[in-house]
A and B are shown apart, each in its own frame.
Chain A
């Protein structure tokens, strides 16, 4: 279900983005640029949700009257959906007639002429997400420890996506964007501290 829904959504977004590219003005049109910005924001928020639910699963946190399965499935769908929106983000920027961003720039880190480090951070995060999702899809064929070690990549993946969003985008200075980044990064920092140091906590009665 997760892959089907995400593939369907990615196909729908790709169709709309291509139509927007074909109908926008080659000199002044901003449809693909705006689509890339929107997809980037949604991808970031989905990646954030996926990271938070993943940590919550590991820490066995969940809202009251919510089953563990709900959290597991939320973690699955948000992570796969994030990849769909990364695809839309990249597709829109590659198709944009003004910002000449090539497929190679999108696939190979640090090759972009525009802010190579900042854009490269996003490209690296993209491949980290692909790696984590691929390892999960193939989890039935690998040892649990291997899958878990690969899954730790999701932490630098989130950090790199945050750095990419903060430094590579044109919306970084916008108050709303800064508020979103600050709030989400603070929550990740708090739960990460709990994740790293909390596993050594011993209940009082133990």
Chain B
């Protein structure tokens, strides 16, 4: 952006911007649901195998969020 086109005044191509915003928002929700689908429904797995109560003690003693995140989360 050079000369008089610096800044956010005099914006153009609003339809294009709306499309880009829509695509970005859509990508976010697709990625979100993709991540969610990659490790299944946690409530169901916990209910079936009883892992909800089994994994809780592993989380409790840890003092930093890192191991909790690393052990219980991820793709």
Residue of A77, A78, A88 touching B28 (CB-CB under 8 A): A88
Residue of B31, B42, B66 touching A29 (CB-CB under 8 A): B42
Residues of B55-75 whose CB lies within 8 A of A: 55-56, 59, 63-66, 68-70, 72-75
Q: How far is the CA of A30 from the CA of B52 in the complex (A)?
A: 13
Q: Which of A94-102, A156-164, A185-193, A197-205 forms contacts with chain B?
A: A94-102
Complex contact B25–A170 (CB within 8 A): no
Looking at chain A's contact residues, is the secondary structure mostly helix, strand, loop, or mixed?
Answer: helix
A to B CB contacts below 8 Å, 27 in the list: A13-B25, A25-B46, A28-B43, A28-B72, A29-B43, A31-B36, A33-B69, A38-B29, A39-B28, A42-B31, A58-B2, A69-B13, A73-B16, A74-B20, A75-B1, A76-B1, A77-B16, A78-B20, A98-B68, A99-B73, A100-B65, A114-B65, A136-B1, A136-B7, A138-B7, A140-B6, A170-B73
Which residues of A pack against B, CB within 8 Å?
1-3, 5-6, 8-9, 12-13, 25, 27-31, 33-35, 37-39, 41-42, 45-46, 54, 57-58, 69-70, 72-78, 80-81, 85, 88, 98-101, 113-115, 136-140, 144, 147, 170-171, 174
